[in-house]
């Protein structure tokens, strides 16, 4: 079917084809015209000025590499109790403020007599803080697991208990010293 339509097209256009031979030196004139167009196009290109495209490509590559580098280098966001819920945020704030207040009280009680008790307590608090940092990592990896949350709360409570116990021991030492001083007089 296509052959028929193609043949009919050629039959219809039969007298309209240009079958004359070109004039002498046709090729030479054609090449001269090409050269003339080529020199005007190079003049236009030279007049256009600075070629900024390679620099734009380099800048885009640098921006992409920098973006990938900073994206890949960022550590994953670490969760803590405050990131779990609003109630846990309040709980964390309460424990943090309480621990800070107890540490201030403890530092006020420093003396040569209580120095060993206080330094031992601070070592225990620092160990618990290190454990808390590990728990934060576990919470991030576990997807806010309830057992990890409970362990974090227990960690805070243990720190407060240690500080309260040390403050009670310091009071006991002070009372013992004042009683022994009274007995000496």
Question: Looking at residues 103-130, what average pLDDT do you find?
Answer: 89
CA distance 77 to 74: 9
Say which residue, 38 or 149, is predicted with more confidence. Answer: 149
Question: Which band of pLDDT confidence, cut at 50, 70 and 90, is reported for residue 100?
Answer: very high
Cα–Cα–Cα angle for 141, 144, 148, rounded to 5 degrees? 85
In this model, does residue 75 exceed pLDDT 70?
no
Q: In this structure, is residue 50 part of a structural domain?
A: no
Write the pLDDT tens digit of every residue in 24-73: 888 888 888 888 877 655 555 555 567 778 888 888 888 888 887 777 76
| pLDDT of 11 higher than 80 | no
pLDDT of 124 reads 93
Q: Is the pLDDT of residue 140 over 80?
A: yes
Cβ(137)–Cβ(78) below 8 Å: yes
Neighbours of 75 (CB within 10 A): 6
Range of the domain at 162: 81-177
> Quick check: pTM over 0.75?
no
- Integer Cα distance of 21 and 103 in angstroms: 107
pLDDT value for 70: 77
Q: Are 78 and 140 in contact (CB under 8 A)?
A: yes
* Reported confidence tier of residue 184, pLDDT bands at 50, 70, 90: low
Evaluate whether residue 7 is within a structural domain. Answer: no
Look at residue 59 and tell me if it is in a domain: no
Q: How many domains does the chain have?
A: 1
| pLDDT given at position 52 | 77
* 107-117: average pLDDT: 87
Q: Is position 170 within any domain?
A: yes
């Amino acid at each position: 079917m296509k052959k028929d339509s193609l043949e009919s097209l050629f039959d219809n256009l039969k007298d309209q084809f240009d079958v004359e031979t070109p004039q002498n030196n046709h090729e030479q004139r054609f090449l001269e015209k090409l050269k003339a167009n080529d020199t005007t196009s190079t003049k236009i290109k030279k007049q256009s000025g600075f070629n900024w495209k390679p620099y734009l490509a380099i800048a885009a590559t640098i921006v992409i590499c920098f973006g990938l580098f900073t994206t890949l280098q960022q550590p994953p966001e670490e969760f803590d109790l405050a990131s779990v819920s609003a109630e846990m945020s309040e709980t964390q704030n309460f424990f943090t403020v309480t621990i800070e207040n107890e540490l201030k009280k403890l530092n006020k009680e420093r003396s040569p007599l209580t120095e060993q008790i206080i330094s031992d307590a601070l070592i225990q608090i620092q160990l618990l803080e290190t454990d808390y940092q590990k728990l934060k990592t576990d919470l991030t990896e576990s997807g806010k697991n309830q057992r990890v949350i409970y362990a974090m709360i227990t960690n805070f409570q243990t720190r407060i208990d240690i500080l309260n116990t040390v403050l009670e021991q310091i009071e006991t030492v002070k009372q013992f010293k004042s009683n022994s001083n009274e007995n000496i007089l």
